[in-house]
Structure 1
């Protein structure tokens, strides 16, 4: 019997979430689903697993929560580490993307040996 776990996240932007997964080489695909048999649709990101028990990031109205059957988790790291890694990459993508909207450009992005990232942005006044 399957028991799906819904794990809350802080992922609110599909574009940045998808960009983070791509940068981490996590294969995924978008799926459009109707909401409550209405004409409204939601987009989920699905990560296929070799055992057929896929992982999904599903919009719950506030954020993309991770939905998976923990009994069939087949990623290379535990779920907590998996989410932390995606969260760190997601945060970097949000910072870069939103900063560029107001004129900043990334000039350095470095992964440090302690697992943290260093990001340097600059903006020139005209």
Structure 2
């Protein structure tokens, strides 16, 4: 059984990364043949329709290099360090969760139970049946 209290995440799967960004309710723009994912750091749902008019300022970007993404931000967004850190923590947790689930399912495991503990932590139980010949 594995237990994670903290996961250091390397972002390598663009499909899962974009899924997580959508899940968190943030719009994004893809550049350079989908190698860079830019997220405006306005944190307002009312700005979504006009958010890309000046997409080069106040942003956080995931840039694909050497098969994983580097995180880049402008100096204006970095001054909002608390909001940026909260956002990055949400990305990290959701990406780690989604990637773990996807890999387990790909390996033939089946999620059989989700248990919520009293600390708002979720515990996932996976099973995999392997037929053995005697």
Q: TM-score range by the shorter chain?
A: 0.5 to 0.7
Q: Is the 8 A contact 1:30 1:45 kept in 2?
A: yes
Aligned position for 1:124: 129
Looking at structure 2, the residues matched to 124 and 74 of structure 1 have their Cα atoms a distance apart, in angstroms, of: 51
Comparing both chains, which one has the higher relative contact order based on Cα–Cα distances under 8 Å and sequence gaps of 6 or more? Answer: 1
Q: Is the 8 A contact 2:11 2:17 kept in 1?
A: yes
1:21 aligns with 2:26: no
Equivalent residue for 2:109, pick from 91, 95, 104? 104
Name the structure with the higher helix share: 2
Q: Which runs of 5+ in 2 are unaligned?
A: 1-8, 43-50, 52-56
TM-score normalised to structure 1 length: 0.65
CA deviations over 1:7-35 (Å, ceiling 9, x no partner): xx62122122112212222222322x1xx
Please identify the structure whose Cα radius of gyration is greater.
2
What count of residue pairs does the alignment treat as equivalent? 110
Q: Which runs of 5+ in 1 are unaligned?
A: 1-8, 34-40
CA RMSD of aligned residues (A): 3.1
TM-score normalised to structure 2 length: 0.62
Name the structure with the higher strand share: 1
Aligned position for 1:36: none
Aligned position for 2:93: 88
Aligned position for 1:12: 12
Equivalent residue for 2:77, pick from 72, 77, 80? 72
Change (3 A) 1:17 1:100: same
Looking at structure 1, the residues matched to 116 and 25 of structure 2 have their Cα atoms a distance apart, in angstroms, of: 16
